[in-house]
Copies of this chain bind each other. A is one copy, B any other.
């Protein structure tokens, strides 16, 4: 049996649903490849069209602009990650173990999930690390937020925040700690590979060290005391 995941996407993100057509799925697939390869700044619809073998105008029929594409694929990732979390924490009763699994999931390079056809999760993870915060660090963040574009990120934050509260019901900053875990899982990875002297893992360049750091950080804050 071949399982397929469907992530429900916000309809305001696109003009035409890219999941419904071959060209649409190609736009997603090649956007991920191109953004991962060239970075978001150098990513243009022209180049994307050439990669796919279609025209610029073709892309514009699906997405208003490249920023929407970025939000689309990043939202997809957060949705997929929330699914992964619910999967690996299923039947786990101890919230501390749950939270450790979440941290590991966030800080570990993912492999391409064969359950998702046209999405390469490994490239997507790299995009989250290098381009993730550019989704909201803009002047239009307020407008985009009205469209609910950041709901997947907020949902993820709420899920992690709730696990934190399970660990320590009286903890005062579950959401801020959740965003700290998420952002630092990615920033420490970026620093480790690109500006290693900003971290303590510069030599080993090993993700397991980031996990140890985050575990230490988080469980110092929320241990019973």
Interface SS of A by simple majority: helix
Interface status of A184 (Cβ within 8 A of chain B): yes
Q: Within the oligomer, what is the number of copies of this chain? A: 2
Task: Closest B residue to A137 by CB, please name it.
Answer: B130
Interface size on A, residues (CB 8 A): 50
Interface status of A221 (Cβ within 8 A of chain B): yes
The residue among A138, A178, A210, A212 with the most chain B CB atoms within 10 A of its own CB is A138
Contacts of A51 in B (CB 8 A): none
A1 to chain B, nearest CB (A): 38
- Chain A, range 47-88, C-beta contacts under 8 Å to B: none
Give A residues with C-beta under 8 Å from B.
38-39, 41-42, 130-131, 133-134, 136-139, 141-142, 145, 150, 153-154, 157-158, 172-180, 183-184, 187-188, 190-191, 194-195, 197-201, 210, 212-213, 216-217, 220-221, 223
